[in-house]
Amino acid sequence: MEPSELKEARRRARQLTGEIEQHNRLYYQEDRPEITDAEYDRLLRELQDLETRFPELRSAGSPTQRVGAEPAAGFETAPHRSPMLSLDNAMDADQMRAFVERLGRKLDRGSQQIELIGEPKLDGSGVELIYRHGELAQGLTRGDGRVGEDVTRNIREIPSVPARLSAGGGPLPEIASIRGEVVLPLAAFSTLNRARLAAGDEPFANPRNAAAGSLRQIHQIDHDRLRSLEFRAYSLAEGMPRSAKNQAEVLATLSRWGFVVSPEWRTCRGLDEAMSLHGELLEARDRLPVEIDGTVFKLSRLDQQAILGTLSRSPRWAIAFKFPPEQAITVVEAIEAQVGRTGALTPVAKLAPVRVGGVIVSSVSLHNQDEIDRKDIRVGDTVVIQRAGDVIPQLVRIVLSTRTEAACADARFERYRLPARCPECGGESIRLEGESVTRCPNLDCPAQLKNNLRHLASRGALDIDGLGEKLVEQLVDATLVGRLSDLFTLSEEQLAHLERMGARSAANLVASLERAKETTLQRFLIALGIRHVGETLADLLAVHFGDLDPLLHASAEEIERIEGVGPTIAESVARFFSDEANSAEVARLREFGVRWPPIEAPREPGKRSLDGTAFVLSGTLSTARDEVKKRIENAGGKVVGSVSKKTDYLVAGESPGSKLNKARELGVRVLDEAELEKLLS
């Protein structure tokens, strides 16, 4: 039997892994971080400490061994020329001193003899630019550090990214891999947010999110936003001139090739000079044209960098010395639950107004129930507030010394629990196992109706031509649509009275709504906006159940038996359809004529060569994926989205990415396209 201490450590490690992966997804894929870098580092260090104490908890898939997050769906991906690592952080002078002393011990030198290069730590989006024979060939986001999203088309629009390297009097390498940061200058950030506010859109929280969001546009490209971005180069991973001996010469090479390099960099001999530069950058940060959140220090000499090498997720020879955020003290006057556009119930602390970092802060997100429980935040508490990245207000800690007997006797002084029912619609709120967020699953919840309508009308769902964001706003604000199914009751006369909606546009939309009623079961399931249900899962559910009615009454256990469906997804689907409001809305949509053809019953067992065989496709295939998938399914096989022990084959095309590594770890047989062709024939 497992010792209790190890059992508790394993439980906490799973919890930390889930939280860290969620925050990686929010930061790298969705460009909307919910916690500060300091809080993220605290979670990561706690997990590292557990894995040090209990080595059996460490695995290749642990967040302590990886960088970033899986590339987001919708992007082509490609491997980096070499891993794009993260940086270890120093949050105070003691940690910076320990880093320099560690370098001294490794290199057998005194800490004041260590030569460092200090550069501003840019708060943007990390990318790799690959040049072949001097020509820009590819631009990749960080992704998971090994595979990135291909954003070459967008990268080419950034004025500071050279289409061709300037020779500068010397030969250019056959291949050059330049690493750097895409940032949005503060002046452009202000202009962009003014335009968004004028258009009625939500402003970006900070320049980092705006830069990342601009870079990762897929369909509707805002060229002005892209041209507002700036790329700053800071390292050369491949293509280093033989003459380069230190980081200063690397930066000089990048500048000579035509890249923008942060001009504030400086050579520092020893800890004292490094601390001096850090202090100067901290004092000057508000006057710089781009946002920075610390100083990056690297060993200057390249041969010393090579001696020290790297860990799984960071180099031993570099560190990011972070700036301290500004803080203030105030009192929690109330805690309220707010419902977001995706149905997430977020606890928000209402504060006695206080000035932090030059602005008045009167409320702060407490993120989720786990965060409230961990910090034990209660009404009446005196708390320390800071602005993460000088933008997002964050509650740091409680001042426990103020919890007097009188304060604890206050009737409001009790543990806060998120409500069991949504404060907007009264529907039962749910929290799925393994997730930290409590949600309202009601399709027609007013707080998320606009978001659900946009999703239902999207191309991958019912594909309602003409139902854009502005029209959705008008329909809901004019109370013409109070629930999803109301869309299919709209008349030309009702629509024609809306702003900028003439008779012809109204007729076109009504016709588009009529066409949208003819759909497929897969698209209908996607349109419902069920948590975790995208194209792959909708296909699995549709093929397994054949029609909607069996799925409506299926238990989580039955859904989980489907290959490729885990317990969290199964619970999400089952709970969605067991909600009375949702099942009523589904019935109403069908009543108004939303319909789909029946799915063909599978052939009798024995007639297909691959019955029950599970495939995963990875990388770029010479044949369209949809065609490959169709051929596998016609032969009786299944195509699932992720590699597991239940997977029979991984079909690897060009640049297969992390799925190939996972398949090898699990002993899953890997096929190339020729081997798949033999199997199919």
- 426 or 19, higher pLDDT: 426
Angle 120-63-430 (CA atoms, 0-180°, nearest 5)? 110
**For residue 93, which amino acid is it?**
A
pLDDT of residue 604: 45
Measured between alpha carbons, how far is 141 from 27 in angstroms, rounded to an integer? Answer: 13
Question: What burial class does residue 370 get, using C-beta atoms within 10 Å of its C-beta: 0-12 exposed, 13-18 middle, 19+ buried?
Answer: middle
Residue 602 has pLDDT above 70, yes or no: no
Measured between alpha carbons, how far is 212 from 493 in angstroms, rounded to an integer? Answer: 42
Q: Which fold has domain 433-600?
A: DNA polymerase; domain 1 (1.10.150)
Residue 271 has pLDDT above 60, yes or no: yes
Q: Which CATH class is domain 327-409?
A: mainly beta
CB of 343 within 8 A of CB of 418?
no
Give the pLDDT band (50/70/90) at residue 581. confident
7: annotated active-site residue: no
- 473 or 355, higher pLDDT: 473
- 679 or 28, higher pLDDT: 679
| Tens-place pLDDT, residues 180-214 | 999 999 889 888 878 877 776 666 767 887 888 88
Q: Which two tokens stand for residue 41?
A: 């580092």
Summarize the confidence of residues 242-257 as an average pLDDT: 94
Helix axes 567-578, 580-591, angle to 10 degrees: 70
Measured between alpha carbons, how far is 507 from 491 in angstroms, rounded to an integer? Answer: 8
Helix axes 270-284, 93-107, angle to 10 degrees: 150
| Tens-place pLDDT, residues 105-144 | 999 887 778 999 999 999 889 999 999 999 999 999 988 8
Domain boundaries 4-65, corresponding CATH code = 1.10.287.610
Please state the domain extents for the chain.
Answer: 4-65, 88-322, 327-409, 433-600, 614-680
pLDDT of residue 386: 82
pLDDT of residue 518: 93
Measured between alpha carbons, how far is 382 from 495 in angstroms, rounded to an integer? Answer: 52
Q: How many CB atoms lie within 10 A of CB 375?
A: 16
Summarize the confidence of residues 574-596 as an average pLDDT: 91
pLDDT of residue 281: 94
Summarize the confidence of residues 257-277 as an average pLDDT: 95
| Tens-place pLDDT, residues 49-101 | 888 888 888 776 677 766 655 555 556 889 999 999 989 889 889 999 999 99
Can you tell me whether residue 98 is helix, strand or coil?
A: helix
| Tens-place pLDDT, residues 12-29 | 888 888 777 777 666 655
- Of 7, 121, 322, 630, which is the active-site residue? 121
- 563 or 164, higher pLDDT: 164
Residue 149: strand pairing partners: 77
Summarize the confidence of residues 404-417 as an average pLDDT: 75
Q: How many CB atoms lie within 10 A of CB 398?
A: 17
Predicted TM-score of the model (pTM): 0.51
CA-based nearest residue to 148, from 236, 78, 50, 75: 78
**For residue 399, which amino acid is it?**
V
Q: Which two tokens stand for residue 47?
A: 């997990």
User: How much is the mean pLDDT over the chain?
Assistant: 85
The CATH number, out of the four listed (3.30.470.30, 1.20.210.10, 1.10.10.60, 3.90.550.10), of the domain defined by the range 88-322: 3.30.470.30
Domain boundaries 614-680, corresponding CATH code = 3.40.50.10190
Give the pLDDT band (50/70/90) at residue 537. confident
